[in-house]
Structure 1
Amino acid sequence: MYSATTQSINVTVKPIYLDEQSSPTDGHYVWAYQVTIENAGFETVQLLNRHWRITDSMGRMQEVRGAGVVGEQPTLEPGESFEYTSGTPLTTPSGIMVGSYEMESADGRRFDVEIPAFSLDSPHQPVQLN
């Protein structure tokens, strides 16, 4: 699992390779990622927008921006958390994702929360030690 904390907002991500949805012979690899966003602070916040940078093993990057996550813009009271699962396909057997959430506090202050960089690894990628 991968974790990052920004202004008392904890984001944890667990990537999962989906063998049953992937087709390596066709250059199609699919991952799910489970995200937990926890408000460890003292003020209520709402997730407004997301921004992802997805890079495959050939260095090709795709950016994804949009409102909320999985069709929601959750509001988190102090001590609350929100969990969701989403996914991404790649044409290579590995890659990396990183991003941020735009949050808004109850008083209207907006700030970005880091989504930790996480590795997308499949069993079809040769292991390379550096």
Structure 2
Amino acid sequence: MIHQITKGIKVSVKTTFNGTSHSHHHFYYAYSYSITIENNSDETVRLTNRHWKILDSLHKTEIVDGEGVVGQTPTLHPNDTYTYSSGCFLHSSIGAMSGFYTMVNQETLEEIKVAIPTFQLTTPLLLN
């Protein structure tokens, strides 16, 4: 598991390769990831938006922006933890994701860009 801390907000990521899939005459590699967000600051924050940069070694880079995560905009009080899981499909067996969450300090209304560490999306090695 990898992690990164921005202004007391710790983002940890664990990835899993879920196999391959076929859809509309295309072959895809399926990955899932679990993200844990820990508020180790003294402030209450609300996750309002996400920004992803998805790198696929055989395809163009995709940028994804949206409200919240998995349909939620969680509020994290000091020492709260929030975990969610999601996934993506790549055209290749090698890729990566990175990005940031926009969080709003619920007392000052200041926006904070909380970094999501770059994480690799790879298939396991084939062994003899």
TM-score, normalized by the shorter chain, greater than 0.5? yes
CA displacement at 1:58 relative to structure 2: 3.0
Q: Is the 8 A contact 1:11 1:35 kept in 2?
A: yes
RMSD across aligned positions (CA): 1.8
Q: Which residue of 2 aligns with 1:54?
A: 54
Q: 1-side partners of 2:21 and 2:52: how far apart?
A: 24
Structure with greater helix share of residues:
1
Moved more, 67-76 or 55-64: 55-64
Partner of residue 112, structure 1: 113
Shift of 1:55: 0.5
Q: In structure 1, what is the Cα distance between the partners aligned to 2:17 and 2:123?
A: 6
Alignment of 1:9-48 (within 5 A): 9-19=9-19, 22-23=20-21, 26-48=26-48
In structure 2, C-alpha distance between the alignment counterparts of 1:57 and 1:12, rounded to whole Å: 24
Match of 2:122 in 1: 121
Looking at structure 2, the residues matched to 58 and 32 of structure 1 have their Cα atoms a distance apart, in angstroms, of: 19
55-64 or 38-47, which moves further after superposition?
55-64
Given that 1:93 and 1:124 are in contact with CA atoms closer than 8 Å, whether structure 2 keeps it comes out as no
Q: Unaligned 5+ residue runs, structure 1?
A: 126-130
Q: TM-score, normalised by structure 2?
A: 0.90
Deviation beyond 6 Å, 4+ runs, structure 1: none
Aligned residues: 123
Aligned equivalent of 1:100: 100
Amino acid at match of 2:89: P
Q: TM-score, normalised by structure 1?
A: 0.89
Distance in 2, matches of 1:8 and 1:72, equals 21
Q: Percent identity?
A: 40
Amino acid at match of 2:110: R
Instruction: Name the structure with the higher strand share.
Output: 2
Shift of 1:73: 0.2
Aligned ranges 1:43-82 → 2 under 5 Å: 43-58=43-58, 60-82=60-82
CA distance in 2, matches of 1:88, 1:124: 20
